[in-house]
Amino acid sequence: MATENLEKIVNTLSELKVVDLAKLKTLLEEKWDVTAAAVAAPAAAPVAADGGAEQAAESTDFQVTLTAISADKKIGAIKVVREVTGLGLKEAKDIAENPPKVLKESAPKAEAEEILKKLEAVGAKATLKGL
């Protein structure tokens, strides 16, 4: 029986215009002596001291930083740096020889992870920092 009553109420409310719903809200607040307020989102969990995985899970954009390159893998890394940054050979070589360097200031998660995979595949190390 209670379910039928609830369904009737839902159907009745669904047929009301927005102006009437606003009036209903005001009347209910007065009758029940309450205030209808939007529910606040729960506070974000604190970020780990290293700012790593927890922050990365929440971020949608990432900064990609080249942190190290094996000396014997430098040529492959320079090619990836050129591909990612669009720089010339000399500029890419300068970046590859002087890590840490930011390769991409802001990239969507999928793109940042793809860059990271490419760098790791050629023996370079990089980090992603959530923005």
pLDDT tens column, 72-126: 888 998 999 999 888 899 998 898 888 898 888 888 888 989 999 999 999 899 9
pLDDT tens column, 11-30: 888 888 878 878 888 888 88
Cβ neighbours around 107 below 10 Å, total: 20
pLDDT tens column, 49-83: 454 544 444 678 889 999 998 888 889 989 999 99
Instruction: Locate 50 and state its tokens.
Output: 């290293």
Alpha helices in the chain (DSSP H): 2-15, 18-32, 53-58, 74-85, 89-97, 109-121
Predicted TM-score (pTM) of this structure: 0.53
What pLDDT does 17 receive?
A: 83
